[in-house]
Structure 1
Amino acid sequence: MTDHNAAFSPARWLPAPKPGVWTKELLRSDGDSFTLLRLGRGAGWELTGGADDRILVLEGDLDDGERRGRGAYRPASGVKVSSEGGCLALVLSGTRLGAPADDVFSPEGWQESSTGVWFRLLLDVTFDEGFDERVVGLSYFEPGSTAPRHPHRTAHRFLFLDGEADDELVFPDGTRQVFQRRRGDFVDYPHPVEHQSFSRTGCLILFLHEPVR
């Protein structure tokens, strides 16, 4: 299980060849990579990768020909980006990562999956209860809400964007373990796994399900 705590902290960033640019790789696998990108004031960088790659602005401003703010979800292949005031962004590599959007954190497109738990898919698919297809999206917990125990027939990757939660895992041998997750934590749960989550404060999560081949 890949587990990065406090990924947004100042620790363990790698400087890029250009001044004011840093990266932090959270995951690299055959199907996906998750890499944080931090641009200082006035810094710029050229993104490379596949045609389906995306960049999500988490903090600050990003200019890719237009100035974009938090929540912008844009193409990340062959694009020159810069930031006047500095920014933190997540670069996602892989397939089926969804269409570009101006603000994925806006109220549009959210659905309630259980009491006080909402999700918004960034990929246009029919989301069934099998949780067995490749899908990327956002999940929001209202304070005091719970996502009931459920299995995943996929690897389950998520990055806590805000807030905190307790996540209880049930392993195949029946043992249980509770992890406290908070803003900046990145987790890659392997298949098979069951879990349930409870948030006292509320939280916002980016998730990706990767089918097991």
Structure 2
Amino acid sequence: MSTTPRLIRLSAAALGLGLSFATLAACGSSDPTASEGSKSGDTVVVGSFAFPESEILGEIYVQALEAKGVKAEKKFNIGPRQQTIPALRDGSINLIPEYNGNLLAYYNEKYTERTTEEVDGALGDAVAKDKLRVLDSAEAEDKDAYVVTRKTAEAEGLKTIGDLSKLVPFSLGANPQFGDLGYGIPGLEKVYGVKASDVKFKP
């Protein structure tokens, strides 16, 4: 008889892992998510990053737009911001559901803003240089976490992210971009002292 392992979330003390959802759109005369913002016959192209959660968010936006009578088209699984930002700029897509903290980090890795209001305030100026704009943040929030089984946590005495340094080496599974993100493997070393060389990354 097999049982499902119980998982526990390791607490974060220094990294700002809480992210609110925002919508990044190409600049125009109107809000592409508003029914009056789409001219008769126009189609709003919604993009997504190359991972399932982003595609689900994109689908939610597409269905919400269609429910308001706006013609919407999907262009999902584009890739990281190095590809989605140019797609917004050249008109390949008109909007994409975003993560405001990560988006600000893309423009300024040393940002110090933490609350949704602070981050959104800084984002306006940050994306303006690419002739983009950020629409109002959704109330939804997404939090990344490092998760291990309860058995491993109890056996190794793991309570915080920094405790991962007790596991040398250890395997970490995450999306491909996690290896380069500030709150990913680089953040483990910079903030928690967990050496990147001790992490066996499995995208």
Query: TM (normalized to structure 2)?
Result: 0.23
Structure with bigger RCO (C-alpha 8 Å, 6+ apart): 2
Query: TM (normalized to structure 1)?
Result: 0.22
Higher relative strand content: 1
Higher relative helix content: 2
